[in-house]
Amino acid sequence: MSLLLVGTIVLTLLIGGSNSQLSATFYSTTCPNVTSIVSNVIQQALQSDTRIAASLLRLHFHDCFVDGCDGSILLDNSSTIVTEKDAGPNSNSVRGFGVVDNIKTAVENSCAGVVSCADILAIAAQVSVTLSGGPTWNALLGRRDSTTANLAGANTNLPSPFASLSNITAKFSAVGLDTTDLVALSGGHTFGRAKCSSFSSRLYNFSGTGSPDPTLNSTYLATLQQTCPQNGSSNTLTNFDPTTPDTFDSNYFSNLQNNNGLLQSDQELFSTSGASTISIVNSFSSNQTAFFQSFVTSMINMGNISPLTGTNGQIRSDCKKVNGS
């Protein structure tokens, strides 16, 4: 081997940093069946809750953006924990905690004390996408669980649906994710639901103008106004993707091209003049394979955000609590 090659490998390992600590085979001897155990519980849950796959994908995202993918979002209030579940983007919105507990119980029954709650969220996200018609991949594993939560971090780091594209891009950049990651991962809004409160300002009084968001398709605007009347319940739910609400496909991107993005943050990817995101939306809309490939790469990138590994953190026995508390 040439010195240059050795040097390159060493440099790659150094730059790889925390990323290289996770591995697709982390549980191959200690819990070889973990993915099928997780899959079985999710398939069961889907029987009575067609939304659960979307909800589980979102949990992994909201975990990873706050101090890394460390299971912190799962912790309830206790003497040492102020729960992230009360953060603005999470409160009365993130869901699926009961299914995560069922997964944890099933995993503990086969391999006690081995699989972290943070890894359960990563596996559940992958399985949820695959079961919904999306791509499949080997999630990288070996994360450990935090003993802390960060309510303020959840309020700061998670992007708002009312933010500008540059603001959202900055929040992704802050955790090492680029513009392609932003567009690919926003494709997660190809399934699941949102409450009227997450977008109704676009329907009546966009940014204080007293008028609807001019980028909204007028037919879609009328439909959304029916679903979310001005003085109606802010908790009414609507599908992100009106055409295939529970399927993981590239329709999200053709919806944006038709000005049928549900959230302001969705439509901005296509309607911000001059933005570098536009050509990526067009490419994912015309080529689902390209979207799926990028989505997998970006899910791995997101899953690599500062994991606890080695002897850091712990393997929680109950995802809701720090061990011994």
Ligand X SMILES: *[C@@H]1O[C@H](CO)[C@@H](O)[C@H](O)[C@H]1NC(C)=O
Active site residues: 62
Residue 149 lies near ligand HEM (rule: CB under 6 A):
no
Are 260 and 243 a contacting pair, CB within 8 Å? no
**95 touches, from ligand HEM, ligand X, none (C-beta below 5 to 8 Å by class):** ligand HEM
Per-residue tokens: 153:
């971090």
Q: Pairing mode, if any, of strands 193-195 and 237-239?
A: antiparallel
Q: Which residue is nearest to ligand HEM (CB)?
A: 192
259 binds, among ligand X, ligand HEM, none (CB under 5 to 8 A by kind): ligand X
Site string for ligand HEM, 213-252 (x = CB under 6 A): ----------------------------------------
58 binds, among ligand HEM, ligand X, none (CB under 5 to 8 A by kind): ligand HEM
Q: Which does 146 bind (CB under 5 to 8 A by kind): ligand HEM, ligand X, none?
A: none
CB 27 within 8 A of CB 34: yes
The conformation of residue 77, written as its DSSP 8-state character, comes to P
For residue 58, what are its two tokens? 């979102």
Interface with ligand X, residue 321, by CB under 6 A: no
Axis crossing angle, helix 179-186 with helix 264-271, rounded to the nearest 10: 130
36 touches ligand X (CB under 6 A)? yes
Residue 265 binds ligand HEM, judged by CB under 6 A? yes
Quote the tokens at residue 140.
């990288």
85 makes contact with ligand HEM (CB under 6 A) = no
Q: Which of 69, 115, 194, 322 binds ligand HEM (CB under 6 A)?
A: 194
Q: Which is nearer to ligand X, 81 or 308 (CB)?
A: 81
Least distance in angstroms from the C-beta of 324 to ligand HEM: 32
- Measured over the CA atoms of residue 48, residue 53, residue 54 and residue 59, the dihedral's sign is positive
Q: Which of 29, 48 has the CB closer to ligand X?
A: 29
CA of 256: how far to CAs of 20, 194, 280, in Å? 35, 16, 12
* Residue 24 vs residues 21, 96, 137, 160, 177: alpha-carbon distances, Å: 10, 24, 10, 32, 21
CB 95 within 8 A of CB 55: yes
Q: Is 30 in the site for ligand X (CB under 6 A)?
A: no
DSSP label of 141:
B
Backbone φ and ψ of 266, nearest 5°: -70, -55
What character string, x for contact with ligand HEM (CB under 6 A) and - otherwise, covers 46-65? -----x--xx-xx--x----
Task: Evaluate whether 288 touches 249 at the Cβ level (below 8 Å).
Answer: yes
Answer yes or no whether residue 72 interacts with ligand X by CB under 6 A.
no
Tokens encoding 220 = 């879609």
Asked if 321 is part of the footprint of ligand HEM (rule: CB under 6 A), the reply reads no
Question: What's 188's DSSP letter?
Answer: G
- In the block, which residue shows the tokens 């061990």? 323
Options 134, 159, 307, 313; binder of ligand HEM; rule CB under 6 A: 159
192 binds ligand HEM, rule: CB under 6 A: yes
Name the residues that contact ligand HEM, by CB under 6 A.
Answer: 51, 54-55, 57-58, 61, 93, 95, 159-161, 168, 182, 185-186, 188-189, 192-195, 198, 263, 265
Residues engaged in binding ligand X (CB under 6 A): 32-33, 36, 40, 77, 82-83, 86, 163, 167, 170-171, 217, 219, 230-231, 258-260, 287, 289-290, 293
